[in-house]
Homo-oligomer: A and B are copies of this chain.
Amino acid sequence: MAKQERAVRTRRAILEAAGAVFDEHGYTSTTIAMVLERADVTKGALYFHFPSKECLAQAVLDEQVPFGTVPSQPSKLQEIIDTTFVVAHRLLGNALLRGSVRLTVDQCAPPGVDHTGPFLQWAEHLMTLMGKAREQGELLPTVEPRDTVELLVGAFAGIQLMSRALTGRDDLGHRVSVLWGHILPGVAVPGLIGGLDAAPDRGARVLATMDADGH
């Protein structure tokens, strides 16, 4: 294995371990020693990639939005819907994503860590898709894309939090489906709604097609 490839793998192993520890213990209670033990790397390697706990937290936060990547769809509203379901489904199995989300929603904002980042990055990511949806005539003329996008990001943050508290996120697919059932009538042109798929198992099905395509 080339030296650079090894460095990339080590960095990823540390991030995944850090995500898991932040998810279980939160920012304040997490120590570098806990991450070291989980990642099974040397102290030198960890400090080479992440000189402090703050750097580690920032890197875990920066990993969040890439988890929302989904295959392109003819309807851009469907792509936005797919993003929410894929993230919801990945939260069940991916500790790095869970740790990143916990750092975003927990109120502690240690100096040097910007936990507003994921809110803004999600909003920008979805704004691009909303812009295309508008161009394609998918949106009702009353829709203000910025308002709708920020509502989706904020509401999703709270819905996953309530689902985690009440059912360990078991019912998150259902809750995301309910969100879309309530929001689509005020967002999508009537002719489009019947063709959109916002069923609770949408995330699992989209991820299955991604695995089949070798994503």
By a beta-carbon cutoff of 8 Å, the part of chain A in contact with chain B is: 26, 28-29, 102, 104-109, 115-116, 119-120, 147-148, 150-151, 153-166, 175, 178-179, 181-187
Contact = CB atoms under 8 A, between A and B. Distances in A.
A164 B154 CA distance: 11
Contacts of A182: 148, 151, 182-183, 186-187
Contact of A178 (B105, B116, B150, B162): B150
Choose among A120, A161, A166 the residue with the greatest number of B CB atoms under 10 Å from its CB.
A161
A107 B105 CA distance: 8
Nearest to A23: B107
Contacts of A186: 181-186
A179 B182 CA distance: 10
A83 to B, nearest CB: 16
A68 to B, nearest CB: 16
Contacts of A158: 105, 154-161
A178 B184 CA distance: 14
Choose among A109, A154, A179 the residue with the greatest number of B CB atoms under 10 Å from its CB.
A154
A-B pairs, top 5 by smallest CB distance, nearest first, are: A158-B158, A157-B158, A155-B155, A154-B162, A154-B159
